Amino acid sequence: MYVLNNDMVFPDVSLASQEGILAIGGDLSAERLILAYRSGIFPWFEQEEPLLWWSPDPRFVLFPEDLKVSKSMKQVLRNRDFEVTVNTDFKSVIEHCAAIKRSGQQGTWITNTMINAYIELFDLGFAKSVEVWLEDRLVGGLYGVDVGNGVFCGESMFSLVNNASKVGFITLIQNTNYKLIDCQVFTKHLASLGAKEIPRSDFLTFLKS
């Protein structure tokens, strides 16, 4: 495994382990994070673990044209019970994502250091949040990184009431011109919405095109 130092470089992603781990160490500075995402790399580590950088192969992505919206979700969207906004409360969204309990996880990988790093990315115009409101209460949302070239790298989402995060995710896809949503690694939830695995090499081509 490659150990990062103060130099702003990453090893070639082809050197990642079978699980997708590419490197360890470094920091979460805005410069390094932007370089990572533009290179097909993202940080992911549990509390108390060292900083790990990943570039899995295959990559789990969603093409907007493949989005699957069930009949029940179409009705939820038509009802307009939820209000969806963009970039109005990034800090609250990422804090909710950090606090939500997830099956199979002992703690959260969204540490205070991670929160501060992505807030800085947001202030610089690279990170983005989607907020879902119900009667003026924030009940769902998601955040991620816009790397340019029509690619949005989703990081995490949360939902305090049924369907809230789905409404935010679907609205993001249907109301933007992204050509690819990076979902990073397989989840049944996102697979049900149309996400699929593609070779890492194809994903890197989209990043550079």
Q: Phi-psi region for residue 96, left (φ > 0), alpha (ψ -120 to 50) or beta?
A: alpha
Report, as an integer, the average pLDDT of 61-67. Answer: 98
pLDDT surpassing 80 at residue 108: no
Contact predicate 116/140, CB 8 Å = no
pLDDT surpassing 60 at residue 77: yes
- State the Cα–Cα distance between residues 9 and 60, nearest whole angstrom: 24
pLDDT surpassing 80 at residue 40: yes
Name the DSSP letter for residue 65: G
Instruction: Give all strands (DSSP E) within the chain, no chain letters.
Output: 2-4, 21-25, 42-43, 52-54, 59-62, 83-86, 127-134, 137-148, 151-159, 180-184, 196-198
Percent of the chain with pLDDT over 90: 90
The per-residue pLDDT for 164 is: 97
Q: Which domains are assigned to the chain?
A: 2-56 (3.30.70.3550), 60-208 (3.40.630.70)
pTM, whole model, 2 decimals? 0.93
The per-residue pLDDT for 109 is: 75
Please report which helix (H) or strand (E) contains residue 206, including its range: helix 200-208
- State the Cα–Cα distance between residues 37 and 184, nearest whole angstrom: 11
Residue 64: cis peptide before it, omega within 30 degrees of 0: no
Torsion from C-alpha of 156, 64, 181, 102, nearest 10 degrees: 20
